[in-house]
Amino acid sequence: MKSIAIALFLFCAAFLPPRASAVTATYTDSSQNVTLTGLGGSGGVGQSRVDWGTCAYDGTNTNCTVTAPYTGVGGGGTISIVFSYPGNGTSPFLANSISPGNNQITFGIAAGNSGKIVVSLQESIGANVTFLSNDFVFYYSNATCTGIAASSCSVGQVGLTPNATITGPVHGTFDATPVILAVISASSFGGFSAVAPGTWMEIYGTNLANVVSQTWTAADFIGNAAPTALGGDTVTIGGQSTFVDFISPLQVNAQAPSNVATGPQPVVITTPGGTSAPFTPTVNATEPGLDAPISFNLGGIQYAVAMHADNSYVLPSGAIAGLNSRPAQPNEEIVLYGIGFGPVTPDIPAGQLVQEANAITSSFGMSIGGVPVASVPYAGLAPNFTGLYQFNVVVPADAGNGTVPVTFTVDGVAGTQTLFLAVSN
């Protein structure tokens, strides 16, 4: 068995420095002045552009920022709110009231637009806290209206007349409760809607973390055991803890435990901002996929990641700039990688860095160029990784020449990916 470094194309391989994590997810009782400038819009009711005083276009995004003192979480400090949106045009941010005359306004993004609201608190004692969301709620008190008749300038009618403004002290709240929108197996390995015990999952949604991004490091491991929490995030599936590799507000990567039951199983994320409602994918006994990232889709042909013994890639020569590659030769042993192929013997549970040779318990078959692979020197979990399978296969002598299909079966069931290898005889 040989081990090949493949960190370039695996989502869970590299150990990267973490970002500072947030320590809380809500705040109340901010004390600051905010001015809204009305645009009118659909009757003008409840619509407004946010005039944050300081806006700058950096060539890509317009960033509008306000800083002010606040009271509340951590005993008070400084609040910084940035509304950022692409381009240098009209702001897509709206201020929507719950009902006319109500003193609650929710800032959001107009449908069909993109942007980001980032709220940071510098507490008078303690660390910076950063929230990322598309929605933020303010409660006005003692607002002053200009530009229209005072009698019609209620908070619930912000922007009733174009260019009218409302200014006053506000109290803010922020809801960072995570929301899961999708769960798939790792996208570079097929991105299936079902997952499997011990496989890698990608979880998509909003408010999934209170950090810009964080990836596990060696310091997060206890011996060979991967972490079940990262940056204040934990993930469960079927009530079982997962092993968390990467977190960000919009995506979390986690490895399912080995003992999760098959069938529909709820995935739940808990962050410093709260606990998500469950999202329920199907868990199958196996959900196999070979490593085939989008970067290996060349001219519409999706190549599988395969390695030569010298760590170069099995691709047409020079296919990807800066990447050492050449086609495989007949009778050459090459290495491919996958996830979701099921248990191994001896048993190695999910979340453990693999330290010994092992073999998948399911029957495994592969064909290259339509020719069955007769020699598979190794088919099991890859050494020094967790949840990653390694397949050492010998290219058949009559596998063909050029771009040829590569297929596999697990217990006689064919994989569903359409993949290719470069072969030269």
* Residue-wise pLDDT tens digits, 374-391: 999 999 999 999 999 999
* 65-74, 175-184, 196-205, 325-334: segment of lowest average pLDDT: 65-74
Taking every pair of Cα atoms in the chain, the longest distance, rounded to a whole number of angstroms, is 87
At residue 9, the pLDDT reads 34
pLDDT at 161 over 70: no
Is residue 190's pLDDT more than 90? yes
* Beta bridge partner(s), residue 269: 235
How is residue 316 annotated by DSSP? Answer: S
pLDDT, averaged across the chain = 82
Span(s) in the chain for CATH 2.60.40.10: 7-19+177-283
Per-residue pLDDT of 216-233, as tens digits, reads: 999 999 999 999 999 889
Task: Give the model's pLDDT for residue 168.
Answer: 72
> What is the pLDDT, as a whole number, of residue 329?
97
% the chain with pLDDT above 90: 54
- Which CATH code is given to the segment(s) 7-19+177-283? 2.60.40.10
Coil, strand, or helix at residue 420?
A: strand
Structure tokens at 339: 């996830």
- Residue 104 pLDDT class (50, 70, 90 cuts): confident
Q: Tell me how far apart the alpha carbons of residues 40 and 48 are, in angstroms, rounded to a whole number.
A: 7
Contact by Cβ (8 Å): 101, 157: yes
- Under a CB-based contact definition with an 8 Å cutoff, are residues 36 and 50 in contact? yes
207 closest CA partner among 273, 281, 253, 141: 273
- Over residues 245-257, the mean pLDDT reads 94
- Strand locations in 76-115 (E): 77-86, 93-97, 104-109
What CA–CA distance (Å, rounded) separates 26 from 28?
Answer: 7
Predicted confidence band of residue 199 (pLDDT cuts 50, 70, 90): very high
Give residue 3's pLDDT: 28
307 vs 84 pLDDT, higher one: 307
Task: Specify the pLDDT at position 11.
Answer: 33
Q: Kindly state the average pLDDT of the residues 263-270.
A: 97
Mean pLDDT of 390-418: 97
Q: Quick one: pLDDT at residue 21?
A: 31
For tokens 């995506």, the residue is: 251
For 18-39, how does the pLDDT look when each residue is reduced to its tens digit (9 = 90+)? 222 333 334 445 555 666 666 5
pLDDT at 42: 45
What is the reported pLDDT for 312? 96
Beta pairing, strands 364-368 & 359-360: unpaired
Query: Does 155 have pLDDT greater than 70?
Result: no
For residue 357, give the nearest of 379, 373, 337, 339 by alpha carbon: 379
Output the pLDDT for position 79. 77
Over range 304-327, report the average pLDDT.
96
287 pLDDT exceeds 70? yes
Is the confidence at residue 174, as pLDDT, over 70? no
- Peptide bond between residue 293 and the one before it cis (omega within 30 degrees of 0): no
Higher pLDDT, 172 or 47: 172
Evaluate whether 48 touches 72 at the Cβ level (below 8 Å): no
Rounded CA gap, 139 and 137, in Å? 7
Phi, psi of 278 (to 5 degrees): -70, 145
Confidence of residue 210 (pLDDT cuts 50, 70, 90): confident
Confidence check: pLDDT of 167 > 90 = no
CA distance 36 to 49: 6
What is the structure's pLDDT at 375? Answer: 97
* pLDDT at site 39: 52
- The arithmetic mean of pLDDT across residues 11-22, rounded, is 28
One-letter amino acid for residue 5 of the chain? A
Instruction: Please tell me the pTM assigned to this model.
Output: 0.74
Q: Tell me which residue has tokens 């107009």.
A: 110
Please determine, for residue 16, whether its predicted confidence score (pLDDT) is greater than 60.
no
> pLDDT higher for 346 or 20?
346
Q: Which residue has the higher pLDDT, 65 or 99?
A: 65
Least confident of 173-187, 194-208, 230-244, 380-394: 173-187
Amino acid type, 18: P
